[in-house]
A and B are shown apart, each in its own frame.
Chain A
């Protein structure tokens, strides 16, 4: 335990005595962590946006006005037995009319036309949601049953696939750029930490020689250098999180606006998963720091 505290003391001393070197190393580590966080954030935004769009996709089946509720309900029951169907909702013709009126309340032509027509021109509607996008074709196949041709007036699936593809393209592209950027930062961080520890070893070469001479164990000699890199990792993670939170606060409203109605709040997401994000960042930072310092120690510290 005493040896640990002494190694820690040496690590802190080295950190302060080479403060500019330490600052540069930490800066690079913070940039690396931030770019990795950016990759994560883009992933979250992309996934959430696509998920929200997918949830909005549904298949509307409009029936002729003369088709009775019993007949529609029979079809509804059949659809509900399909494994691909998540939810089926029946909208009676009266409700459909109300909704139609409400939707076109500002369109005087439609309002007038509805006034002229005394009978309800609309039929009942079934709104179907499938478990995933690919399965809408299965549902459509069932509805294409020749028995239904006289009942079903129209089947309408909104072309969400194009929106999803476009979203996928955008997020994939940003994700790729951020990923490459992160990899570049990871490599730069490893090189910088490696170099910092190498310089520290070089400046302490006399001390290391004497340590060996008077019987210091290998781990006592290596310890301060490893602890110094752990110190970089801890400080970098703290700074990175300290920067990330206000940054998300700034960009979150823009993201929320952009994906309006998709219930995407980055700040809440960050706050809810603070511990996970912290753990992930510190693990990445520690891995980066310890691996590169071990390489430097292995190559430049003969004990």
Chain B
């Protein structure tokens, strides 16, 4: 599903965020990318959604070589990848329903399709009764669930979650992880970027550990090493 071949990312003037990374993530996998701050976890996530370009090497997502992806092709790629961030990125002036519908609106979806899909996505994240609430009327965990619902409306093959629990308390953390596991069960590949030991250790899924831009460990049923 995702393939990194000798990928390096060097920020000007001379800071290497990733060094010669080789990686293969199979369809339907749940992979945690762990490591301390500044080890290149977020850079890796941003490379997958073409938010950044590689300095060396190549990246293939779903059989598509996105190494030199054209600007015009990026929206197509992003509709196949759901993205969840630590800071939610919800529009404060839009309701829960409108925030989720927004992802379909900007992609040119028909109103009928929007009316069908949005409630379904909100049902998956258990927010079907909060359609008319505004983000500031929701808890952190609920806001992150809205983000996940928004990521799901394009029926993505991959979900990239970059520190999705960073701003949440322990109860909400578990809710979000359970939700990601549920989505993974539907067959969606999940890439979870985190530095939360407890989550990683409890998941008993594949763990890739990064240190100073390099993969230092890749275990099938891994634990947080550092």
Interface positions of A (Cβ within 8 A of B): 2-3, 6, 206-207, 209-218, 220-221, 303
Contact = CB atoms under 8 A, between A and B. Distances in A.
B71 A214 contact: no
A303 B71 contact: yes
A84 B49 CA distance: 78
Interface string B51-90: 0000000000000000000011001111100010000011
B102 interface: yes
Given A3-B108, A214-B106, A216-B106, A209 B75 contact: no
A215 B79 CA distance: 5
A251 B56 CA distance: 71
A109 B212 CA distance: 117
A6 B98 CA distance: 13
B78 A218 contact: no
B146 to A, nearest CB: 12
A210 B90 CA distance: 8
A244 B12 CA distance: 56
Contacts, number: 54
Given A213-B83, A218-B72, A303-B71, 20 more contacts: A2-B110, A6-B105, A6-B106, A210-B89, A210-B102, A213-B78, A214-B78, A214-B79, A214-B83, A214-B102, A214-B103, A214-B107, A215-B75, A215-B77, A215-B103, A215-B106, A216-B106, A217-B72, A218-B75, A220-B106
A3 B105 CA distance: 8
B76 A215 contact: yes
B109 to A, nearest CB: 8
A217 B77 CA distance: 11
Contacts of B155: none
B102 A220 contact: no
A303 B51 CA distance: 10
B91 A206 contact: yes
A207 B109 CA distance: 18
Nearest to B88: A210
Contacts of B102: 210-211, 214
Contact of B78 (A3, A6, A212): A212
Contacts of A212: 78
Contacts of B83: 213-214
Contacts of A210: 89-91, 102
Contacts of B72: 217-218
A217 B72 CA distance: 7
Interface core residue of A3, A217, A220, A303 (most chain B CB under 10 Å): A217
B145 to A, nearest CB: 16
Contacts of A303: 71
B130 interface: no
Nearest to A207: B91
B89 A216 contact: no
Interface string B103-136: 1011111110000000000000000000000000
Contacts of A211: 102, 106
A124 to B, nearest CB: 83
A215 B105 contact: no
